[in-house]
Amino acid sequence: MGAVLKDLISKRFISREEIIVVSKIGYVQGNNLSRAEAREQAGKAFPEMVKYGEGIWHCLHPEFLEEQLTLLLDRLGLATLDICLLHNPEYFLSDAKNRNLSIKAIQLEDLRQEFYRRLEQAFIYFESQVAAGRIQYYGVSSNTCTAKPDNHEATSLSRMLEAALGAAQQAGQAQHHFRVLQLPMNLLEAGALLSHNTGKDHSQTVLSLASEKEIAVLVNRPLNAIPGKGGGMIRLADPQAEISNTNFEAQQPKVAALEHDYKQVLGPNIPQPDKGASPLEYFNWAEELERVRASVQNLEHWDQIESQTIAPHVNRVFQQLTQHFTGRKEEEKIWESWRDKYVPELVSLLKVMRMEAAQKSAKKLTGLGQIIDPLLPEDKQKEPFSRKALWTVASTPGVTSVLNGMRHPLYVDDSLTILQWEPLPKPRKIFETLKTSFTL
């Protein structure tokens, strides 16, 4: 991004003032985790580190923020970051919940007091960086600021603003520079609009308070809904899946037959590893896919199964067996012949599974469409579902910007299209209707 910005500015396609650069700090993963571990081993650990899980730490302490901001500006090649957000600071509360430190209400309030103390210390640092010209504004990206107030992991915009005011006073600033809040919102998660969870006695919604205090609201996950009712994620976009020229009942036996051949001819010739599955069990996808077929909830669920379970296993086993058979002339030919037959048949079976999952997603979207289409202008009812979903959120009073993914040209087209539309007159009616009418 830094290289692209530098190139565009130098060629005068844009000016620096036309671009708002936003970044986040908080997670301690990858290279950041390696540095944090090295510091800890050297006796110079970052203070107040939250060790949430293996490979996932989190930190809000000014020492960590200082290191990260310096590295961030260097990578971007910028002297000033427009907006710096604390990334999911609620990890402190999530960690406490996982360790059962907040069972009683009084203990929970003590934890929240500590949480907002840490937040205020981070804001004091940010105020100092505003004064130094390294950032212009700051804020928070929180997945739980839309949660109900009794949720142990809930964060509150009003308490964030109190912390920002205290930070500004301690930093000698006339006013605080907390100006941005990022939160999740979509057709099925409308807590920001409908839940009274912030302000005095939780009397306001996040969006109403943000509007009152002139806080910009960035909405994430506009098309990835996680309703929290055990149904997993629902993609609020028409599913994209290639139509298969076969079906499960026809394709599954072909894969099963080839896997049987492997177990009879190739599997017995492979040495048993010190640990892990027997080589005879390396290829059981015909049986396994038949077992999980009914439990696949939708296309997103299938993509998760395929990318996180099937593909890594298959790739690892293919590499291992190719290495084993290389140089064993007759066995190598048998292996290559079997592999060349098996791969296209397995791919065809996976394509069938993906098509079936897409059909399940389409069925859910049809149900959603039947609810919201009567509430949309007639000329928008035939638009792709993703555009309806984006338009509804973008039209909601209090929403400043909707963050849509840019990994596919279709996503870009959706965003550019709805930017040309006039705002939907009564978006709240859609959220309220879905809340009472839609069931997973």
What does the pLDDT look like over 300-332, one tens digit per residue? 889 999 999 999 999 999 999 999 999 888 899
Q: Tell me, what's the pLDDT at 276?
A: 78
Any idea what DSSP says for residue 189? B
β-sheet with 50-53: strand ranges across: 27-28, 56-58, 50-53
Note the pTM of the prediction, 2 decimals.
0.85
**What average pLDDT does range 189-216 have in this prediction?**
96
Q: Which helix or strand (DSSP H or E) is residue 139 part of? A: strand 135-141
Is the pLDDT score of 108 beyond 90?
Answer: no
- What confidence tier does 277 reach under pLDDT thresholds 50, 70, 90? confident
User: pLDDT grade, residue 231 (50/70/90)?
Assistant: low
CA-closest candidate to residue 115, choices 123, 126, 125? 123
> Which of 82-86, 107-111, 133-137, 256-260 is predicted least confidently?
107-111
**pLDDT of amino acid 359:** 93
Please give the pLDDT value at position 146.
96
| 229 has a pLDDT exceeding 70 | no
At residue 440, the pLDDT reads: 65
Mean local confidence (pLDDT), 426-430: 95
Structural contact between residues 90 and 153, judged by C-beta atoms closer than 8 angstroms: yes
Residue 102 has pLDDT above 60, yes or no: no
CB 93 within 8 A of CB 101: no
200: CB partners within 8 A, 6+ apart: 158
pLDDT band at residue 106 under the 50/70/90 scheme = low
The domain ranges of the chain are: 15-184, 248-365
**pLDDT at position 61:** 97
Tokens for 224? 């990835």
pLDDT level of residue 55 (50, 70, 90 thresholds) = confident
Q: Are 91 and 24 in contact (CB under 8 A)?
A: no
Give the separation between CA 188 and CA 433, rounded to whole angstroms: 10
- Least confident segment among 46-50, 96-100, 125-129, 350-354: 96-100
Structure-model confidence comparison of residues 102 and 216, the more confident one: 216
Confidence label for 244 from pLDDT (cuts 50, 70 and 90): confident
Return the structure tokens found at 213: 């205090």
438 pLDDT tier (thresholds 50, 70, 90): confident
pLDDT in tens, 263-276: 999 999 888 887 87
Kindly report the average pLDDT of the chain as a whole number: 93
Q: Do the Cβ atoms of 108 and 154 come closer than 8 Å?
A: no
pLDDT attached to residue 241: 80
- Predicted confidence (pLDDT) at residue 71 exceeds the cutoff of 80: yes
Say whether pLDDT at 383 is over 90: yes
What value does the mean pLDDT take over residues 109-119?
94
Of the candidates 19, 92, 20, 102, the one whose C-alpha atom is nearest the C-alpha of residue 60 is 92
**Percent of the chain, pLDDT > 70?**
98
The tokens of 53 are what?
């899980």
Over residues 336-364, the mean pLDDT reads 94
What is the reported pLDDT for 104? 60
Average pLDDT over residues 233-249: 89
CA atoms of 145 and 155, how far apart (whole Å)? 5
Q: In what order do the strands lie in the sheet with 135-141?
A: 22-25, 81-87, 135-141, 178-184, 216-220, 401-402
**Beta strands 81-87 and 56-58, pairing class:** unpaired
